Structure 1
Amino acid sequence: MNATRPLGFWLKLVDSLIDEQFAATLEEHGVTRRQWQVLNLLEQNPASEAKLISGLSPFFASPDEPQNVTEHLAELVESGWISHLDSEYTITERGHVSLVKLSELVDRIRSQFGEGLTEEEYATTVSSLEQMARNFGWSDAETD
C-alpha cells in the first residue's frame, strides 16, 4: 500500500512530523522554530526586516505560528535575544548563547529524521527535492 502513496502524501507527512518535533522541542525552551530560524539568520549577519522576510518566506505556512516575521522579531527583542537599531536587527550575546544551546537540540532532531539513511541516500533525497522545486520555478537567489 505504501508504494502507491504519491510524493505529496510523503512530503506533507514528513513536513508535519518535522514541524511537530521542532515545535515540541523548541517550545520547551521558550522559542518557536521560526524564531530559531531568525536567530540563525542574524547569527550570520545583521539584517533588516525585509531581508529576514525574504529569507524565511517559505516557512510561514504553519497555522500555529504568526504568519509574518514582525511578531517573531518583537518577541525576540522583548526577550533580549536580538536588538533593533535603525532598520537592522542583530543577535545579542544572550541570543547567541541561547542559539548555541538550541542548535544542539536541533542537531539531535536532524539526526533522528535521518536515521536509517546513508549519507548518500539523504543527499540524494535533498538533491531530488531541490530539483523538483526548481522544476516548478523556484530559484535560490543566493546561489543562482
Structure 2
Amino acid sequence: MQQQRPVGWWVKRLDELLERGLDDVVAAEGLSRRHWQVLDSLAGGPSARPELAAAFASFATPGRVDVVVADLAARAWVEDRGGLLALTDDGRAAHGRLAGAVAAFRRRVADGLSAEEYAATVAGLARMVANLER
C-alpha cells in the first residue's frame, strides 16, 4: 500500500516530519525551525531584511520572518548593523550549540541512503519543482 502512494503524499508527509523533528531538536532553546533557518542563514554572513525574507518565501511570510528576527533580536542574538541583520557573539554561540544537533537530525533523515541515492532524490525533487514552475 505505501509504495502506491503518489509523490505528493510522500512530500507532504516528509515536510510534516521534518518540521516537527527540527522543531523538537531546537525546542530546548525555545526555538522553532524558522528560528534555526534564520540563525543558520545569518551564520553565513549578514543579510538585508528583504533578502532574508525572500530566502524564506517558500516557508514563511515576510511578517513571520520579521517575528522570528524580532524574537532573536530580543534574545540579543541578532542585531541590525546599518540595514544588515547579523548574528551577535551570543547568536553565533547559540548557532554553535544547535549546529551539532541539527546535523545529527539531518543524518538521521538520510539514514540508509548512500550519498548517491540522496543526491538522486534531491535532484528528482528539484526536477519536479522545475517542471511545475515552468
Q: Which residue, 93, 96, 99 being the options, matches 1:100?
A: 96
- The equivalent residue for 2:114 is 118
Matching residue within 64, 69, 85 for 1:68: 64
Task: Quote how far apart the aligned CAs of 1:67 are.
Answer: 5.7
Amino acid at match of 1:39: L
Looking at structure 2, the residues matched to 106 and 25 of structure 1 have their Cα atoms a distance apart, in angstroms, of 7
- Equivalent-residue separation in structure 2 for 1:101 and 1:57 (angstroms): 26
Identity %: 30
User: When the two structures are superposed, what TM-score results if normalisation uses the length of structure 1?
Assistant: 0.86
TM-score (norm 2): 0.93
Shift of 1:86: 3.3
Once superposed, which parts of structure 1, at least 4 consecutive aligned residues long, lie more than 6 Å away?
A: none
Q: Does 1:79 align with 2:75?
A: yes
Q: Which stretch shifts more, 96-105 or 82-91?
A: 82-91
- Unmatched 5+ stretches in structure 1: 139-144
Aligned to 1:142: none
Q: Which residue of 2 aligns with 1:88?
A: 84
RMSD in angstroms over aligned alpha carbons? Answer: 1.7
Q: Aligned to 1:58, what secondary structure does the other structure show? A: coil
Post-superposition CA distance 1:78-112 (Å, at most 9, x none): 00111113322111111111101111011111111
- Structure 2 unaligned segments of length 5 or more: list them: none
Provide the secondary structure at the position in 1 that maps to 2:35.
Answer: helix
Moved more, 2-11 or 129-138: 129-138
